[in-house]
Amino acid sequence: QPFNTLFTFTFMRTIAPTLLLVALSAMSVSSSSALIVGGGGSHLTAAQRLALKTTAEQMCQSGKGLTACDEGPATIGSRFEAVGITNSEETRRIYRQMLFTAPGCENYLSGAILDPETLYQKSDEGVLFPELLKSRGILPGVKPHLKIYELPGTNGDTVMQGLDSLSVRCKEYVAAGAVFAKWRSPLVIDTSKGCPTDLAIRANMHDLARYAIICQSEGLVPIVEPDISLSGTHTLEESISINIKVQAELYKSMIDHGVYMEGSTLKPNIVNAGRSCPSSYTVDEIGAANIRVLRDVFPVAMPGANFLSGGQSLTEAAGRLNAMNKAKGNSPWNLSFSWSQALQLPLLDLCKGKGELQLEDMAKLYVEELEVASKAAR
């Protein structure tokens, strides 16, 4: 009996606490694993989640950004015609080929967003553009949304169309070589009309979430683009509030839909006052405003944001992106660029009065512009 008493005392003082800790540790691991499996992307296999996460991280490299070449034939055609260039499929092919093959562009680009037309075009050597881009270390993506549609009763708010056929088209885009996609949901701030309305915010952000979950199910990393226009008279403070409201709705909807956040990225507008706002703000104030929005709502699970230029010049957009990176401190995201007009309009200006694309001069200027963008993205 004394031995039994001594054994019981020793067990309770030494062995039992250890066993209790082991049991609690096992429960903790089990609970953690359950959370991982039950979170966003639980419908995907481990291999699918890894592929999406790897691609998203490759898109979000420090000092590299995305070249946005996804203008439709009519949009790029109007830019051609403005400088005296004939708009044709072959002209568009040659122009995009220059954007993909300019010597040294791969040093500053992690990806290129293509219009579906461009996705199926080939280089002069007969290589499909997605394969050409991959050979240069640039990831090919595609714009899958269709036409814009005005929501009745909202004083002009809009939504994008194309979700109904998205799954089928994503399969085709993956077969053609695309590894990511980008869907734009444009909104306008007009406080006098109450825009954007709550209805428009919900509809657009829920559409982005549905697009994202469909893309991931088909193997494409989704870039979500809530694009709030710079037109209007709103102040920087009003812009901050509305951007927070819009992005908060977006991420809540993505989580509700089960989107795998680590396998998706953001393409936001640069938060700024409206072009007609009577107040002016410094580049540092604009940079701080953008970081404020991101810190309030942007999930740390998403690896980065590639800002659109939204009609800003290269100097304006690069200055504001640089200010953001200076202000972000220890924030975990990669902040970079996804620009179209800021890069391309100066290239097309080289063609004025020439009647044809000035490909060699355009390629040289393009790489110089990308170097400016890259410096701002560090």
The residues that are catalytic are 225, 267
Tokens describing residue 144: 């899958």
- Judge contact between 187 and 142, C-beta under 8 A: no
% helix / strand / coil in the chain, to the nearest 5? 55, 15, 35
Q: Strands, E, within the chain: which ranges?
A: 65-69, 109-114, 139-142, 148-150, 158-160, 180-187, 221-228, 265-266, 304-307, 334-339
**CA–CA dist 256, 160 (Å, integer):** 20
Classify strands 65-69 and 158-160 as parallel, antiparallel or unpaired. Answer: unpaired
Smallest CA-to-CA distance from 252 within 205, 186, 183 is with 205
Strand, helix or coil for residue 44 = coil
Strand, helix or coil for residue 126 = coil
Q: What is the CA radius of gyration of the chain?
A: 24
